[in-house]
Amino acid sequence: MPVLPNDDELQAYAEAHTSPETDLLRRLNRETHVQVLAPRMLSGQLQGRLLSMISHMVRPARILELGTFTGYSALCLAEGLAPAGELHTVEQNPEQEDRIRRYVAAAGLTDQIHLHIGDAAAVVATLARHCWDLVFIDADKINNHRYYELVLPQVRPGGFVLIDNVLWGSKVLASYPLKPADKDAHAVRAFNDFVQQDARVENVFLPLRDGLLLVRKR
């Protein structure tokens, strides 16, 4: 009987067999962990390379991201943009703006990545004229369902929506005894169940890091 590795060993093995970060992403990763609260919110190498891979496969002309944090995932997603493509990313915390813009400029993507500071739902309403090829939802989890319903009509048929943190520390599992105060966990669990029954889409649940839900609009 083989000895099963623990989660840390699996994570380390996966990272060791995944393409490395660029030097710029490595610097942003390090700066985020040194200077920013809750650095675990950053996508990191493994998830970042997956976002880049998906973007390269889709070759999107228009990407929407809800929840920029320090800009790591936006830079990863932008790697697969079609020529003259653009990415709109929304961050509610104005304290992150300078850092995000500095790294976007360092990547040479000032003309392609458009940063919006403000409430995600309000900003999405101003972008209703766009048709998205790829959407990444990584904002406040209690509003996952709200953001999903706002963006799905704007996604082209055959386009993709990615939703992060859908495991929510494994609290979505039926074996986890949720308390009424676990509002985010209740919201994420209900959202996952809703997408599973949504006839408008096809979906795959990836247990990568804190869970990534991959949705394709029919």
**Dihedral angle sign, alpha carbons of residues 86, 46, 197, 169:** negative
pLDDT confidence of residue 8: 85
Confidence of residue 7 (pLDDT cuts 50, 70, 90): confident
CA diameter of the chain: 57
pLDDT tens by residue, 162-197 = 999 999 999 999 899 988 889 999 999 999 999 999
Position 3 pLDDT exceeds 80? no
CB-based contact 217:152 (threshold 8 Å): yes
pLDDT confidence of residue 2: 61
| Nearest-angstrom CA–CA distance, 12 and 7 | 9
pLDDT confidence of residue 139: 97
Average pLDDT of the chain, as a whole number:
96
Question: For 92-100, what is the mean pLDDT?
Answer: 97
pLDDT tens by residue, 23-80 = 999 999 999 999 999 999 999 999 999 999 999 999 999 999 999 999 999 999 999 9
Confidence of residue 102 (pLDDT cuts 50, 70, 90): very high
CB-based contact 159:183 (threshold 8 Å): no
User: pTM of the prediction?
Assistant: 0.95
Position 84 pLDDT exceeds 60? yes
Residue 62 phi, psi dihedral angles, 5° rounding: -135, 125
Quickly list H helices, the chain: 7-16, 23-35, 44-58, 72-78, 97-106, 120-126, 144-151, 183-196
Fold adopted by 7-217: Rossmann fold (3.40.50)
- Tokens representing residue 203 in the block: 């979906």
Q: Which residues, 6+ apart, have CB-to-CB distance to 208 below 8 Å? A: 46, 47, 50
| Nearest-angstrom CA–CA distance, 114 and 100 | 10
**Dihedral angle sign, alpha carbons of residues 146, 90, 131, 214:** negative
User: In the chain, what percentage of residues exceed pLDDT 70?
Assistant: 98
| Nearest-angstrom CA–CA distance, 136 and 52 | 12
- Tokens representing residue 56 in the block: 């390269």
- Tokens representing residue 99 in the block: 């850092």
Position 1 pLDDT exceeds 60? no
Position 155 pLDDT exceeds 70? yes
